[in-house]
Structure 1
Amino acid sequence: MKDKRYKNITYWLLAFSLALLPLLSQAQEERPVDRYLVQGAENNPRLKALFTDYLAALEQVPQAGALPDPQVSFAYFLQPVETRVGAQRATFSASQMFPWFGTLEAQERVAAQRAKVRLQAFEEAKLELYRDIRVTYNDLYYLQAATRITEENLEILTSFKELAQVYFETGQAGLSAVLQVEMEEEELRSRLEYLADSREPLVTRFEQLLNTDLQEPITFPDSLWEEELLLEKEAIYNTLLAQNPRLEQLRQEAQVYENQVEVARKMGLPAFTLGASYTSIAGRGGVEMPDNGQDAVLFPQVGIRVPIYRKKYRAMQKEAVLEKEAVELRRENLENQLLTELEEEYRDLLDARRKVVLYKRLTSLAEESFALLQEEFSTGRNSFEEVLRMERQLLNYRLELAQARTALNNRVYNINYLMGSRYETEDR
């Protein structure tokens, strides 16, 4: 009954944690990606499989803490055995083995700890799923933004082409101006085709993460928000070491083997058997005597299992100790890998921040320069080639800004994933 309540509570905790996500988003500021996070958490088959593994591990807890099955035997004498009070016809016996005190509780702790390891695997997969959904959404946003920016520049080039043809016909510009615009148009059309081809694989990946076929277009903001970390670098390191699910999973696994040492030690201690027997006796005919035909009941019957082969139990303990040591070494190795990965992500985060600031400034300056060059060209004070060059530069700056914003957010999401956190971002 206790285990059933425990499993029901676990179901409710999962439902609550998944329901909490949209509430947290609304408490800050709902973003288009938030609803996809909820959808992915509800539908993703890998997440469901890992949680089912955890529930299956919980079912091992009552098995580990249960007594061995009792033994019941029955014997019928084909040739009755004569006794003083009559012939034995049949005998029944039942016995129950009881391990050494605390053995069952120790086995139960091992099973419960193994369930915690499965739970950490589920938690890690959940954070990875949220990270992947956000990153894929950002990549899709960049494709949409790049497509929009390129189409806007293509419209500008179309007007330039008409203007270049007018200037060529009036002798104010050469044929090269018209050809340059056509070359630029071809390049932008090729880029648009590549962006269109790149979108389909990303949409497919996004749908696989959500485990659904999207019936409506993916919604994007006009401009991608810029995520920021609340923690400083040193605090991020400490949080990673304390909260990373993969590290926690190895810590829980080490605890499994520590408990297994205690199980092996107790298995090397005696076990006791308590039983009873009943023998049916047929009375002797023609004889009058006390207890004639009286059935025999023997209770209690007591036995003891003596574990005299100590080598086996010492090996079991040593095995558990070595397994724990191996897990701790894997955890140490993983810590080193994660810290190295964090250093790289933090470096890329700083670079993305600088690029966002840089391309915001360069885009603003290029827009002003482009407007001035157009005005100067209309008055004959500048060449058409210079206007076209600035238009191309403005296009590149706008694309680089969109790319930098996408990279900035993706770096933040990767760092949050390494820390084992979903919401370590600025208040929205």
Structure 2
Amino acid sequence: MKSIKNDIEKSKFLRLLILKNHLFLFFSISFCIFLSSSTYSQDSLSYYLEQAASNNPGIKARFLEYSAALEKLPQASSLPDPEIQSGYFIPPMELLGGNQIAEIRLMQMFPWFGTLKAAKDEASKMALAKFENFRNAKNELYFNVRAAYYKVYRTQKEIEVAEKNLKILKTLEQLALIKFRSGGTSIAGGLGSSVSTSSSSLSSSSSGMNGDAMSGQGRTGTGITTSTQAIISMGSSDNMGGSLSSSMGNGSKGDMVNLLRIRIEIQSLENRIALLKDQLISDKVGFNLFLNRYPLSEVFTGDSLIEPPVISDILSLTDSIANHPMVKMYKAEALANAAKLTMATRMGYPMLGLGLNYMLIRPRSDNTSMMNGKDMIMPMVSVTLPIYRKKYKAMQQEAEYMREAATESAVEMMNNLQFNFHQTMQDYNDATRRVKLYKDQALLADKSVQLLINSFSASGSDFEEILRMQQQLLDFEFKLIEAVVDKNTSTARLIYLTGID
């Protein structure tokens, strides 16, 4: 009877510990997810965004492309290089004014009026298109970094919730073990007496089970832990010999089944935690690669997520789609091809050339002319004859096709952005509803678990219902974290689609 009394006192302490763990688990998750008291998460995300913008090779490549496009402006607006020609007469050419020994000719060609301006406009608009492409790459990188950051946060929170639930399951296992040893006797009779079992002895017992459970993951063969073997052996001795003490009563078989059930749940949760830890490594690698740093670098997410700021009237963001970098890029390309069409038209006109011809003349001894031996300077004008019209017509048609293609691409991009915007709005609203739903359901499930634990402590019944409800509570907590992450990811996508970042 003294042993039963001690078991009853232990069970009271364990029951209070379970209720305390449930309350702490629920309110800590609610506090971390829904309150904005800590800004470390937002600060760390802002820091990571800055690091990604500075170090990501894709962003660097897009910016270098833009810088290269800017260098085309002085090329397009420059005149053709002047031409200089010279010749030397091996036998001097006899002229009236003397003997010409050499000739130097300088010529500068000028395109038709407006050709250089059109070429410069084309180059500037193409540079603008490259800049918008760079902006889109940066915004897309920001979205990818945010999404990867939220994914790391989700996995870390799921591990945290799973480990806390694992502690609760191990405490339930202790409670079921006490029930099993007491042979189904009610352990609620001594609720008014003081608890004599110290928390230190309970902690050491629980920590021993933690180490045994974790070490059991790496074993080969049947993989049955020591505690499970002990439970099975106790049940076997009851079946084979029937010599268990009478204090265990008729409920010993059911109590043993409860122990086996909770051991199954513990092993399943331990396996899930191991899977989540492997997933966390993959998530961190993917996140760090966006920042172009060591793949296994630590990622700090903080204790809470702060939703990125979005305009309150979110439907008005649809007007910003026309200012999306990709739309502006295609519009800039259309303007560039329109300028190219103008340039191709001007290139079909003649080019004008201005120059000088300088002739070196040696005086002749038998020439008495006043011009004898004087060098000659001759201004020159030249004109090209663009008589091969097919190539100019083809250049104009090419520019027109490219302009129309860019215009249609801009329309297509706006349609795609409109569809993605409304699809993301649907996901955002769905995530908002799920956050409220799972928060309420987690609260109800937590209260249900507490009531079932009270019932089990009093009558020894509903243990299977406790496990089922505990599993449902864990599922609600996982879904709550997923919903919060989905809401933040949808917000980040809305920011990317509207180009307001």
- TM-score category by the smaller chain? 0.7 to 0.9
Match for residue 288 of structure 1?
368
Q: Which has the higher contact order (CA 8 A, sep 6+)?
A: 2
| Shift of residue 312, structure 1, vs aligned partner | 2.9
Counterparts in 2 of 1:8-407, with a 5 A limit?
Answer: 30-172=42-184, 173=251, 174-213=255-294, 217-227=298-308, 229-232=310-313, 234-240=315-321, 242-298=322-378, 300-380=379-459, 382-407=461-486
| Shift of residue 333, structure 1, vs aligned partner | 2.2
Report the Cα distance in structure 1 between the residues aligned to 2:400 and 2:306, rounded to whole angstroms: 50
Going from structure 1 to structure 2, the CA distance change for 1:135 and 1:47 (only over 3 Å counts) comes to same
TM-score, length basis structure 2: 0.75
Report the Cα distance in structure 2 between the residues aligned to 1:99 and 1:191, rounded to whole angstroms: 74
RMSD: 2.0
| Shift of residue 248, structure 1, vs aligned partner | 1.2
Identity of aligned residues (%): 35
| Shift of residue 227, structure 1, vs aligned partner | 4.8
Report the Cα distance in structure 1 between the residues aligned to 2:291 and 2:439, rounded to whole angstroms: 34
Report the Cα distance in structure 1 between the residues aligned to 2:412 and 2:154, rounded to whole angstroms: 36
SS of corresponding position for 2:303: coil
TM-score, length basis structure 1: 0.88
2:489 to 378, 398, 410: 410
SS of corresponding position for 1:90: strand
Going from structure 1 to structure 2, the CA distance change for 1:106 and 1:228 (only over 3 Å counts) comes to closer
Specify every segment of 5 or more residues in structure 1 that has no aligned partner in the other structure, as ranges.
1-26, 423-428
Q: Is the 8 A contact 2:284 2:297 kept in 1?
A: no
| Shift of residue 169, structure 1, vs aligned partner | 1.6
Report the Cα distance in structure 1 between the residues aligned to 2:367 and 2:351, rounded to whole angstroms: 45
Report the Cα distance in structure 2 between the residues aligned to 1:29 and 1:211, rounded to whole angstroms: 21
| Shift of residue 212, structure 1, vs aligned partner | 1.1
Match for residue 16 of structure 1?
none
Match for residue 4 of structure 2?
none
Q: Is the 8 A contact 1:227 1:408 kept in 2?
A: no
| Shift of residue 233, structure 1, vs aligned partner | 5.3
Q: Is the 8 A contact 1:127 1:421 kept in 2?
A: no
Report the Cα distance in structure 2 between the residues aligned to 1:118 and 1:419, rounded to whole angstroms: 19
SS of corresponding position for 2:459: coil
What is the identity, as a one-letter code, of the residue corresponding to 1:105? K
Q: How many residues align?
A: 395
**Larger Cα-atom Rg:** 2
What is the identity, as a one-letter code, of the residue corresponding to 1:221? G
Moved more, 194-203 or 288-297: 288-297
What is the identity, as a one-letter code, of the residue corresponding to 2:359? T
Specify every segment of 5 or more residues in structure 2 that has no aligned partner in the other structure, as ranges.
1-38, 185-250
Q: Is the 8 A contact 1:94 1:275 kept in 2?
A: yes
Q: Is the 8 A contact 2:285 2:296 kept in 1?
A: no
SS of corresponding position for 2:371: coil
| Shift of residue 392, structure 1, vs aligned partner | 1.3
Counterparts in 2 of 1:415-426, with a 5 A limit?
Answer: 415-422=494-501
Report the Cα distance in structure 1 between the residues aligned to 2:366 and 2:45, rounded to whole angstroms: 96
Match for residue 19 of structure 1?
none
Going from structure 1 to structure 2, the CA distance change for 1:29 and 1:144 (only over 3 Å counts) comes to closer
Q: Is the 8 A contact 1:342 1:415 kept in 2?
A: yes
Match for residue 6 of structure 1?
none
